[in-house]
Amino acid sequence: MNTHLLLISNSTNAGEAYLGWPKDYIRDFLLLYGIREALFIPYAGVNLSQESLQASFDVYESRVKPIFESMGCNLVSVHRLPDPAGAMRNAEAVIVGGGNTFHLVKMMHETGLMNVVREKTENGIPFIGWSAGANVACPTMKTTNDMPIAEPPSFSCLNLVPFQINPHYLDAGLAGHGGETREQRIMEFLAVNREMMVAGLREGCLLQVEGAEIELKGTRTMRVFRHGQEPVEHQPGVLVF
């Protein structure tokens, strides 16, 4: 596939501005492909303070749009368009925001965006996604951390990379919490999906995918899980799995 992807674990590190830590990586990616306009998919953004989902998407757009404009890229949110899938067929690039993966996947299937975005990105338009937006680039959404607040017609996603991502990956359990660790949850997934690989993408990290080449960027290592094997730490740099 002729893919150009920026798959970001998280939008914000503690104490930093929104999209602060990945901003330089995003700017470089936009410049690399000369992206001046992109369609934004806001459907993961369920804002509890808003009276409707439409208002939630408005707020999300208003938060993301000025940041991309400061980098020379005009953002158009698909929730304002009468035919999101039709508009996506002419898109220069696609940006998928984080939030709740279940709601994002539900809306992308129901609007027809899942199929169109897959087709467009497989044929070369650049894709940027963070958190839930990184989840949706995977074969399925089954390694999300989110609560199922909505029921998608399918867990199948874009399948732009041949492995699963677990964004916001944490190594340790919470003090005083008796439930499973993130590693144990991933191992549960692998016990059922034994052929799959899971990339535990810690906060402050991203994957840049250029066709078959995958590079880990950021300040931390990535932990890779396979069924029946010990997890492997990967340093930033070009990855060989």
Residue 179: count other Cβ atoms within 10 Å of its Cβ. 8
The one catalytic residue in 11, 56, 77, 131 is 131
- Residue 62 catalytic? no
Amino acid letter, 109: H
CA dihedral (152, 209, 64, 101) in degrees, to 10, reads 20
Distances (CA, A) of 214 to 12, 194, 206: 23, 22, 10
Q: What is the dihedral of CA 7, 9, 11, 12, to 10 degrees?
A: -150
CA distance 235 to 71: 28
Assess whether 146 carries a catalytic annotation.
yes
Q: Could you say which of 109, 156, 168, 234 is catalytic?
A: 168
Give residue 25's region: left, alpha or beta (phi > 0; psi -120 to 50): alpha
Our answer to whether residue 79 is catalytic in this structure is no
**Tokens matching residue 67:** 């940041």
Q: Which residues are catalytic?
A: 131, 146, 168
